[in-house]
Every structure is written in structure tokens, then in C-alpha cells.
Amino acid sequence: MVNKSKNLAIAVDIGGTNLRTAFVDEKGKIIAKNIVKTVRKGRSGNIVAEQAIGEIKKIIGDSGVRKYAGIGVSVAGPIDPKKGASVNPPNMNFRFVPIVAPLKEEFRIPVYIMNDCIAGVLGEKHFGAGKKFSNLVYITMSSGIGGGAIANRNLLMGRGGNAAEIGHMTVDTKFDLPCSCGKGRGHWEAYASGNSIPKFFRIWAKNCRLEAELPSEAKAIFQAVRNKDKITLKFMEELGKINGRGISNVIAAYDPGIIILGGAVALSSGDLVLRYAKKNIDKFLRLPEIKISNLGENAPLLGAAAMVLNKQ
Ligand SMILES: [Zn+2]
């Protein structure tokens, strides 16, 4: 039974693929959780908020909990904190996804919003491997690449709530790949995100004049590495340079004590990503610890709860 209901938060994590809803207590314990596929079709982005409202009602109904401090929402960025919305998110099908207003109107309790990577670093700081650190960076490697940073215990928000959009740092000019953000070339996300790895493999193989079977998913590439496929192992050296540059940029920018990697690519294949990246990380500053998240997929969800429980 849940007694200290006033110390519970409703946490929602709206990603390009999944929408997660949970009740979380102040120790970061997930009391109840739902996962559904994020709606991708509809007349407008309002439909995402409607889906979130439906999921929150479901979790309230199922758990029987009636008192909660508020709703924290982690959403695929970039966000506009003044409008309480996600705006032009590259990994969702809508240009404008309003969150705060529709949730406040429905539930009449405080609603907080952050982009999912900043929520991720908050989750790691309060409930994960970042607890003991004053300076930490969370990197998500999933369909895209993003980050969140805490410097001297301060959560870096940036002017519009999108500080540490590290996936859009430039890491290459040789292949000069266009980024899914549509705003630049050579960005880290254009090479090393789950969506980009197969595209990068194709272009790299063509460039090296290699006849290779062309994988359609990052998963297949990592599997080929585990099977010691020679061409794929060679590709990993190139991918390692890209990830090494990305991580070197992060170290130079934030001087963190720890970097924590989350997101589907890191959670399934982070050992391989790091094995090849580490050879290429510049030793200009003292190297931080670099770890795969032990919160699994829940870092942003727990960060969303931390927003509500006044832990930021
Ligand atoms: Zn970009």
C-alpha cells in the first residue's frame, strides 16, 4: 500500500517511439508504470497530449493513488519552455506538441516540462550513477543523440531549455553528412545515432570501395561486430573516431566528473561503442568516469519525477 501519497509524482516521458507514464516516490522508486507507442498520426500535435492525459488517467485509476504533488514531463526536444511545448522535434511527426496547458487544464495541478536529455541528467543526479558528482553529463544515444549537463551542481538549462544539445556538435568534415536536424552537416547525430549508423556504414563502405552487405539497422551492425565480421570491425574504427570526437567535445565543454550514457544504442551496445570510442578520446583534460546508465530506459522518467519533487 502507498501511504505517503503526497510525496508521489506523476512522471511522463514522451519520446519519438515510446510514451511512458509512472508514479514515482521521492526515493526514485517506480510504483506503477505504463508504456505505449507514441502516437504518430493525427490532425495535430494535440493528439500527443491527449494520449498522455489518457495514460495518466489510466495509471491513476489502476493504482488507486489519489494524491500526488504534480506532473513532470520529459519530452523529445527541442522544447519551448514559455509555450510549454515541444517545437519541431526531429523524432516526432508533429511540428508543435503542446504539453503543459492541456495537462494543467485537465488535472489542475502543477505541471513541469523539460527536454528528455536534461530530464535524463536530473534523473542520474538524484537516482543514478551521478549522485555523488557535482559535475556530470548524461548522453543519450538512441534514434538521435542528445545530452544534459549539471555543472557545479547547477542544472544547465540554456536560454530556451535546450543546453547541451551535443548531438549537433560538429565531429567530422571528411564525410560531411547532412544532419536530421536539417540545420547542418558533420553533426555527431548524423553518424552515430541509431537512425544514422546504417546510413553512415553505407557511405563509409562506398567511400572505401568495399563490397559489403548493407545493414538496415544499427542492431545488425553491432551483431556483426560481435560475430567478428571483418568489414564491420573496420567500420567500428571509423565510428570510434566519430564517438571519440563527440565525447572529447563533451569533456572539453563541461569538464565533468562522470559521463553517463543512456538511450537504446548505449543500453544495448554501449560496451562496443565505448571500446572503440575510448581509443580516440583526447587526453587534454583529466578523463572522467564514463559509464552506461544503470537506470536503463528510466533516466528521463525519473528526472521528470525529480522536477516535481523539488529536487532540481
Ligand atoms: Zn544536427
Rounded distance between C-alpha atoms, residue 40 and residue 159, angstroms? 29
> Could you report the per-residue pLDDT of 160-180, keeping only the tens digit for each?
888 999 999 999 999 999 998
Quick: pLDDT tens for 116-173. Answer: 999 999 999 999 999 999 999 999 999 889 999 999 999 999 988 889 999 999 999 9
CA of 27 to the centre of ligand 1 (A): 36
| Shared fold status for 5-116+299-308 and 129-294 | yes
Cβ neighbours of residue 59 closer than 8 Å, sequence gap 6 or more: 10, 21, 22, 23, 32, 33, 34
Ligand 1 center to 187 CA (angstroms):
5
CA 200 to each of CA 13, 182, 221, 228, 232: distance values in angstroms, whole numbers, following the listed order: 29, 16, 11, 19, 12
From the CA of 238, how far away is ligand 1's center (Å)?
A: 19
Per-residue confidence (pLDDT) for residue 55, from 0 to 100: 97
Q: How far apart are CA 230 and CA 151, in angstroms?
A: 41
Spacing, Cα 184 to ligand 1 middle (Å): 6
pLDDT at res. 218 = 95
pLDDT digits (tens, 9 = 90+) for 244-281: 999 999 999 999 999 999 999 999 999 999 999 999 99
Q: How far is ligand 1, taken at its centre, from the CA of residue 55, in Å?
A: 31
Separation of CA 186 and ligand 1 centre (Å):
8
Q: What is the mean pLDDT of residues 19-41?
A: 94
For 37-94, write each residue's pLDDT tens digit: 999 998 899 999 999 999 999 999 988 888 889 999 999 878 998 999 999 887 788 9
Q: Tell me how far apart the alpha carbons of residues 130 and 138 are, in angstroms, rounded to a whole number.
A: 9
* 213 phi/psi in degrees, rounded to 5: -70, 130
Cell triple for 302? 525519473
What residue spans define the domains of the chain?
5-116+299-308, 129-294
pLDDT attached to residue 67: 87
Q: Is pLDDT of 181 > 90?
A: no
* Helices 46-63 and 100-107, axial angle in degrees (round to 10): 40
Compute, in angstroms, the gap from residue 173 CA to the centroid of ligand 1.
13
- Confidence at 3, pLDDT banded by 50, 70, 90: very low
Confidence (pLDDT) at 60: 92
CATH class of the domain whose range is 129-294: alpha beta
At residue 100, the pLDDT reads 97
Cα 65 to ligand 1 centre (Å): 42
Domain 5-116+299-308 = CATH 3.20.20.70: no
User: Distance, CA 29 to ligand 1 centroid (Å)?
Assistant: 35
Question: Are the C-beta atoms of 277 and 299 separated by less than 8 Å?
Answer: no
pLDDT of 2 > 60? The answer is no
